[in-house]
Amino acid sequence: MKVSLNLSGRFAELFDVKEDVQMEVEEGTTIQDILKLLCKVQSRSSDIFFSNTGLKPNVTVTVNGRFIIHLDWLDTVISENDRLNIFTLHSGG
Q: What is the pLDDT along the chain (93 residues), one digit of tens a residue?
A: 999 999 998 899 999 999 999 999 999 999 999 999 999 988 888 899 999 999 999 899 999 999 999 999 999 999 999 999 999 877 666
Q: Cα 77–82–86 angle (5° rounding)?
A: 85
Instruction: Tell me the per-residue pLDDT of 44-55, one tens digit each, with 9 for 90 and over.
Output: 888 999 999 999
Predicted local confidence at residue 84, as pLDDT: 98
Predicted local confidence at residue 43, as pLDDT: 83
* 2-87 CATH, one of 3.10.20.30, 3.90.550.10, 1.20.1260.10, 3.40.228.10: 3.10.20.30
Tell me how far apart the alpha carbons of residues 83 and 78 are, in angstroms, rounded to a whole number. 9
pTM of the model: 0.89
